[in-house]
A = this chain, B = another copy of it.
């Protein structure tokens, strides 16, 4: 697993190259309280991580299916001539797959905060050598979380947990996605507004 993670381009989680998040630990705590993301949710996220571990390729493919069939979203994988940037798409796929596992398994600490900050910056000003548009509007980042939350459910049922446990995993997932998206919005905000 470790070797694989080391091979994910741009995945500089927990390295000196990561940007430092301007979000304080106190702000993070208060945001988690606002979302009501509690210790029970974190336990169900760990469980969701076990269920999703071998399905991340299929999950990202499901999201990409929706993106590909939505013209105003599909352009973010295309160059100025309308051709899909396959190498970029392949590179970020590995980061997306790893993101699913990180949502479920990582401690929400300073390293994690720093990486969320970097994801926010990526979306506002793409630093990869990609041919795709460099800026993704905030409304699509927030809006697409509905798809991310809807599509995860069939993947959560695969390990035969009870309906009640599946519901709790799903609720925890939705709260965690909201936490991530909220952190990413910081890069889009007027100073002091976030």
A: residues with CB less than 8 A from B are: 27, 30-31, 33-37, 66, 70, 72-73, 124, 135, 137-140, 142-147, 149-150, 171, 174-175, 178-179, 181-182, 185-186, 188-190, 193-194
Is B139 in contact with A27, judged by CB distance below 8 angstroms? yes
Instruction: For the complex, give the distance between the alpha carbons of A188 and B192 in Å.
Output: 9
Given contacts A143-B182, A179-B143, contact A138 B33 (CB under 8 A): no
Determine how close the nearest CB of chain B comes to the CB of A25; give it in whole angstroms: 14
Is A182 in contact with B139, judged by CB distance below 8 angstroms? yes
Partner of A146, one of B72, B174, B188: B174
Instruction: For the complex, give the distance between the alpha carbons of A124 and B185 in Å.
Output: 15
Q: Tell me which residues across on chain B come within 8 A of A27, comparing CB atoms.
A: 139
Which 5 A-B residue pairings sit nearest by Cβ, starting from the closest?
A34-B143, A188-B193, A35-B146, A35-B143, A142-B182
Given contacts A145-B178, A150-B171, A174-B146, contact A139 B185 (CB under 8 A): yes
Is A147 in contact with B36, judged by CB distance below 8 angstroms? yes
Instruction: For the complex, give the distance between the alpha carbons of A175 and B146 in Å.
Output: 6
Chain B: CB-nearest residue to A193: B188
Q: Tell me which residues across on chain B come within 8 A of A178, comparing CB atoms.
A: 142-143, 145-146
Instruction: For the complex, give the distance between the alpha carbons of A23 and B178 in Å.
Output: 23
Could you give 25 example pairs across A and B, Cβ below 8 Å?
A: A30-B72, A31-B139, A34-B73, A34-B140, A34-B143, A34-B146, A34-B147, A35-B147, A36-B146, A124-B193, A135-B193, A137-B193, A138-B185, A139-B182, A142-B181, A142-B185, A143-B178, A145-B178, A146-B174, A149-B174, A150-B171, A185-B185, A189-B189, A189-B190, A189-B193
